[in-house]
């Protein structure tokens, strides 16, 4: 059997792919693997560029664990199947008058794959998707199906909001949502240096604000998105022109296969870091054509979040899958580290265990809680084992 991620750059040969259809099945599979000394990884939609899903043993596919299970309109919360793709959540939530507070650039990920890595969109007042997790149901290596949240198994909940697939098979997530809302996009083009000089004010003035810089130009091509009371306009316009419900406006179509490195930089370092990346591309990498993306993220309290306790700028660099990206990405990483960056868990990085441990204040706590529910490391692959303290 063979497996590859979305970009096709990561490949594996699992000896078994288990398609999960129920929580009971997930719990029994976890226990069987643990008893037999086998290892399991769970796949989401395979959009990560980091080797999180790679397994040459058991690969569990939770696409059968989907749906909306309990909606509470009063508290604006819902339980959702862990394997539900984000695009499949939009309409059912909307039918209940609810919506996700924010979304990333695309909506192809499984909701549990997205929360596993701290997937985020843009907005100075908006946190990543892991922050929206207020509870989870997890099939542990012991075969138990446990529920966790702020009021019960609180440490397990804290640690597993950003889980890297390392705690067990997550079967359902409890999400904090908000009332359904409409958004209107506005696209713009401006000089990069000028854009950076007043980015903080502009970002504060809009619910969502971001731009792409295209190498070897002076141009930033951006989007600002705000709530609107205007009616939705169908058919939807192109990216940058839409006015509709949030789940119709926030996700984009990104079909061109690429690899990506992204770092989260303290907000105040953003412009200087971006200028350093611009300089690097101009002088050392004149052949790179893929754009650099510049977004914002509010501070949060999720243990391994890249925005843990600090307002953040995220800067993403991309390269074509047909080209060798390592020299370019390593040079960018040096700049990101100089600006106190933390790498996105679902994208490329070359950091060691010690470097990551230094960046994440709750690193030891995260591993302590993880190890307590999976002492034999049934849910670790070689990459995660290499990070284990
Ligand atoms: C085109 C593209 C656009 C992107 N845009 C953005 C963006 O705008 N913002 C951003 O932050 N990131 C973005 N990403 C990165 C992406 O959101 C993350 O890598 C995300 O984690 C991928 O989700 P997935 O469902 O594909 O999960 P996978 O990549 O398949 O898995 C991610 C992790 O989740 C675990 N997992 C999944 N389901 C379960 C489960 N039920 N139980 C236990 N563990 C589980 C896996 O084991 C793994 O550790 C993008 C990636 C691509 C390719």
Q: For a pocket test of ligand 1, which of 12, 19, 48 has the largest count of ligand atoms closer than 8 A to its C-beta? A: 48
The mean pLDDT of 148-156, rounded to a whole number, is 98
User: Ligand 1 pocket, 86 CB below 6 A?
Assistant: no
Can you read off the two tokens belonging to residue 150? 């702020």
User: Ligand 1 pocket, 254 CB below 6 A?
Assistant: yes
pLDDT band at 305 (very low <50, low <70, confident <90, very high): very high
Rounded to whole angstroms, what are the CA distances from 252 to 240, 269, 348, 387?
Answer: 10, 28, 21, 33
Q: DSSP of 39-93, one letter per residue?
A: -EEE-SSS--SSTTS--SSEEEEGGGS-SEEEEETTTTEEEEETT-BGGGTHHHH
User: Ligand 1 pocket, 170 CB below 6 A?
Assistant: yes
The mean pLDDT of 374-380, rounded to a whole number, is 98
CATH, range 67-179: 3.30.465.10
pLDDT at 1 over 90: no
Residue in 214, 193, 187 with CA at minimum distance from that of residue 318: 214
pLDDT at 325: 97
Cα–ligand 1 centroid distance for 32 (angstroms) = 26
Supply the mean pLDDT for the chain: 97
Q: For a pocket test of ligand 1, which of 117, 140, 161, 317 has the largest count of ligand atoms closer than 8 A to its C-beta? A: 117
pLDDT at 272: 98
The mean pLDDT of 310-338, rounded to a whole number, is 98
Cα–ligand 1 centroid distance for 254 (angstroms) = 15
pLDDT at 212: 98
User: Ligand 1 pocket, 84 CB below 6 A?
Assistant: no
The mean pLDDT of 57-67, rounded to a whole number, is 97
Give the whole-angstrom CA distance, residue 196 versus residue 380.
41
The class (CATH top level) of 182-343 is alpha beta
pLDDT band at 264 (very low <50, low <70, confident <90, very high): very high
The mean pLDDT of 321-342, rounded to a whole number, is 98
User: Ligand 1 pocket, 304 CB below 6 A?
Assistant: no
Cα–ligand 1 centroid distance for 53 (angstroms) = 10
Residue pLDDT, tens place only, 76-85:
999 999 999 9
pLDDT at 195 over 90: yes
User: Ligand 1 pocket, 251 CB below 6 A?
Assistant: no
pLDDT at 98 over 90: yes
Cα–ligand 1 centroid distance for 111 (angstroms) = 8
User: Ligand 1 pocket, 116 CB below 6 A?
Assistant: yes
Domains 67-179 and 182-343 share a fold: no
Can you read off the two tokens belonging to residue 256? 């061109």
Q: For a pocket test of ligand 1, which of 8, 11, 44 has the largest count of ligand atoms closer than 8 A to its C-beta? A: 44
Can you read off the two tokens belonging to residue 93? 């939530």
From the CB of residue 142, how many other CB atoms can be counted at a distance below 10 Å?
17
Q: For a pocket test of ligand 1, which of 109, 251, 264, 312 has the largest count of ligand atoms closer than 8 A to its C-beta? A: 109
Q: Taking a C-beta distance cutoff of 8 angstroms, is the pair 333, 263 a contact?
A: yes
Cα–ligand 1 centroid distance for 50 (angstroms) = 9
User: Ligand 1 pocket, 328 CB below 6 A?
Assistant: no
Q: DSSP of 246-270, one letter per residue?
A: HHHHS-----S-EEEEEEEEEGGGH
Nearest CA to ligand 1 atom 33: 113
User: Ligand 1 pocket, 62 CB below 6 A?
Assistant: yes
Domain residues of the chain, as ranges? 67-179, 182-343
Could you identify the atom of ligand 1 that is nearest to the CA of residue 120? 11
Residue in 122, 78, 69, 118 with CA at minimum distance from that of residue 98: 78
Cα–ligand 1 centroid distance for 116 (angstroms) = 7
pTM of the complete model: 0.98
Cα–ligand 1 centroid distance for 46 (angstroms) = 6
pLDDT at 376: 98
Phi, psi angles (nearest 5°) of residue 54: -55, 125
The mean pLDDT of 89-97, rounded to a whole number, is 98
pLDDT at 388: 98
pLDDT at 40 over 90: yes
């Amino acid at each position: 059997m063979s497996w590859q991620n979305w970009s096709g750059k990561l490949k594996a040969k699992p000896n078994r792919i288990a398609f999960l259809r129920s929580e009971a099945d997930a719990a029994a599979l976890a226990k069987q693997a643990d008893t037999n000394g086998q290892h399991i990884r769970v796949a989401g939609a395979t959009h990560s560029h980091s080797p999180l899903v790679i397994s040459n043993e058991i690969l569990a596919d939770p696409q059968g664990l989907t749906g909306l299970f309990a909606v509470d309109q009063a508290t604006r919360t819902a339980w959702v199947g862990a394997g539900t793709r984000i695009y499949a959540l939009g309409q059912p939530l909307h039918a209940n008058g609810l919506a996700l507070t924010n979304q990333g650039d695309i909506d192809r990920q499984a909701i549990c794959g997205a929360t596993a890595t701290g997937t985020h969109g843009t907005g100075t007042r908006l946190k990543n998707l892991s922050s929206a997790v207020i509870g989870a149901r997890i099939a542990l290596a012991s075969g138990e199906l446990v529920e966790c949240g702020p009021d019960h198994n609180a440490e397990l909940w804290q640690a597993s909001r950003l889980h890297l697939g390392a705690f067990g098979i997550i079967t359902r997530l409890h999400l904090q949502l908000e009332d359904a809302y409409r958004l209107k996009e506005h696209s713009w083009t401006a000089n990069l240096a000028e854009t950076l000089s007043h980015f903080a004010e502009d970002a504060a003035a809009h619910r969502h604000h971001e731009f792409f810089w295209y190498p070897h130009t002076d141009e930033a091509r951006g989007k600002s998105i705000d709530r609107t009371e205007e009616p939705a306009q169908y058919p939807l316009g192109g990216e940058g022109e839409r006015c509709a419900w949030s789940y119709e406006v926030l996700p984009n179509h990104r079909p061109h296969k690429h690899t990506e490195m992204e770092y989260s930089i303290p907000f105040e370092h953003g412009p200087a870091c971006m200028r350093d990346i611009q300089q690097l591309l101009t002088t050392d990498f004149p052949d790179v054509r893929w754009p650099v993306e510049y977004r914002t993220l509010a501070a949060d309290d999720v243990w391994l979040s890249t925005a843990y306790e600090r307002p953040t700028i995220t800067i993403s660099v991309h390269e074509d899958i047909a080209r060798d990206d390592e020299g370019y990405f390593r040079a960018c990483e040096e700049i990101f580290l100089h600006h106190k960056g933390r790498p996105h868990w679902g994208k490329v990085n070359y950091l060691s265990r010690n470097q990551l441990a230094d960046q994440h204040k709750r690193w030891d706590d995260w591993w302590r809680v993880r190890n307590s529910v999976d002492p034999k490391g049934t849910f670790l692959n070689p990459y995660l084992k290499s990070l284990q303290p």
